[in-house]
Structure 1
């Protein structure tokens, strides 16, 4: 039988049966003070895989922060078999400034992985994170929200062509999985390429905690722990139905062709039919109106929250559904996905 292993990182070690809260230095300020990232490492007494939970690679995306914190500090993990590496805030400078990107470097941390120790500030931070807390793991969950002004229903993005990633994505138990390998430099793409199957979990909007989405994401985390044997007391969750969106012809961002103020007619998670008016764009006098219709029947995975647009702004993210899922949603009118 395999034995539980210590988890080591630069300057530290967490033995089986131990939990350690770490403030790990990833960079320095202009004054030479450390920029320290919070990490909680829970190493179970029993042998098992290592799973990292990461959030706030974009500093204004907060829902995942609370998911990771609750797993690390509120769950009963006494029977944990394996290791949880919980990183609630990857982008510490962005989190402090409440900005999406690294404010000093003006770079996207989630396009900087796996990083380099002799490159830009963003890539040096990415290197410290990746080398110490991602590469030693066996699987990963990376939590995100939509950018400000938009909101996403809870869903997973994953490279479903990779069997290990597909197993992880399905075990998280969301209704919708969007298949893609992800852009280069993203945590999930680079971790998967390095042999650590990782998925992105999208949920809600920036700058706030949305309790309903957080609770549903926690169900997904527990389901993953059950699937991979980290929590013997947990059970794999089935979400009731699932659709896997694969191919550019099955999903599209609908963009504004006119500037103005937007009246959205559907919320995220809504089922719409081809030709349905998704939203109306009007000028300040409401004398000039543009009605935006659904180009095909599908599900609104993401929608606009900020009602101000100019031509080219994204209005919503629409995905096609297979016939079985479409019939099910036609019966109930979509998903109740509002927090």
Structure 2
């Protein structure tokens, strides 16, 4: 739990305490290898001199998703926290075994750490790890940001996933300042769902692709963190970000995965973040001789949140992730982008815009 009898503003975990005004770099043991050596996750706890919210930042729950690692590291080690109000709990690599193997899942029985929260003692390896992470470093917090990328072979534009029916999560999601928010509870066992259900509003930030550092996404992620910390009074010198336009998508109704109906080689005609119109050809699937060609058309007018990077498919493989946009949102998008069709870079916020 956060605090102690001696100092209620201290951050405590099972093996230690970080007092106000202190920063600690910790390698915390959550499991053991086949040889009995410890599996340790890196944790940086920055406790401000003044009281305020406790915020966790997590990345690499999937071991090959790297962009968020650099966001969390830069917040922890490159930002000036002299005026910090509250505490930052920075966990840049949750899935250390997957990270070392550069694999999405835990190499132990191929388990998904991000379906194992809040964890359970005496259960599987994944749930034991998740239990240690959850109860030592997530449960004491007030809000959380969990960074992800697309799985390998695909790429995402930056967007937020959040349960917008939860008012506290809604506030957090909007304060991050992304153009697109996809609203859902999230699957059971995911970090954001289980922490939100526990009473800690948490959002997932999806950005870019696996196995890479992509500077444009890292910088966008850092802008979002600045905006959140301003919204909650953690960093008073920063401003809440308005992205210029925003759409909130109902996960069950206003989005779709477009899948291949034929196997072959894919020629993608639009990038992530592109606005496509109903009937536009998103991509073409051809055989090795280019004697057969199957165009794949947009079923409605919307935004390509994610697209295929690996240009080979079997029937049923996903080609792109598409969300529907209203006419009003399309007009706002074009106005803010000077009528360009790709929406990767947000415009500066209007003066005194605020975050909601």
TM-score by length of 1: 0.97
Deviations 1:188-228 (A, max 9, x none): 00000000100000000000000001001100000000000
Aligned to 1:15: 19
SS in 2 for 1:291: strand
Does structure 2 retain, via aligned residues, the 8 Å contact 1:153–1:301? Answer: yes
Deviations 1:145-201 (A, max 9, x none): 000000000000000000000000000000000000100000000000000100000
Would you say 1:216 and 2:244 are equivalent positions? no
Counterpart CA distance in 2 for 1:324 and 1:189 is: 31
Aligned to 1:174: 178
User: Which runs of structure 2 are paired with 1:1-339 in the superposition (5 Å)?
Assistant: 5-330=9-334, 332-337=339-344
SS in 2 for 1:133: helix
- How large is the RMSD of aligned CA atoms in angstroms? 1.3
Note the residue ranges of structure 1 that are not aligned, 5 or more in a row.
Answer: none
Does structure 1 retain, via aligned residues, the 8 Å contact 2:9–2:51? Answer: yes
Does structure 2 retain, via aligned residues, the 8 Å contact 1:105–1:122? Answer: no
SS in 1 for 2:87: strand
Q: Which moved more, 1:103-112 or 1:138-147?
A: 103-112
Does structure 1 retain, via aligned residues, the 8 Å contact 2:44–2:76? Answer: yes
Counterpart CA distance in 2 for 1:318 and 1:121 is: 35
Does structure 1 retain, via aligned residues, the 8 Å contact 2:245–2:333? Answer: no
Counterpart CA distance in 2 for 1:247 and 1:198 is: 17
Q: Which runs of structure 1 show a deviation greater than 4 angstroms over 4 or more consecutive aligned residues?
A: none
Does structure 2 retain, via aligned residues, the 8 Å contact 1:4–1:16? Answer: no
Following superposition, the deviation at residue 337 of structure 1 comes to 2.3
Note the residue ranges of structure 2 that are not aligned, 5 or more in a row.
Answer: 1-6, 346-356
> Are the structure 2 counterparts of residues 109 and 247 from structure 1 closer, same or farther at C-alpha, using a change threshold of 3 Å?
closer
TM-score by length of 2: 0.93
Counterpart CA distance in 2 for 1:336 and 1:324 is: 16
Deviations 1:19-77 (A, max 9, x none): 00000000000111000000000000011000000000000000000000000000001
Counterpart CA distance in 2 for 1:330 and 1:265 is: 20
Does structure 1 retain, via aligned residues, the 8 Å contact 2:277–2:301? Answer: yes
Counterpart CA distance in 1 for 2:318 and 2:8 is: 48
Counterpart CA distance in 1 for 2:185 and 2:287 is: 39
SS in 2 for 1:169: helix
Counterpart CA distance in 2 for 1:80 and 1:335 is: 36
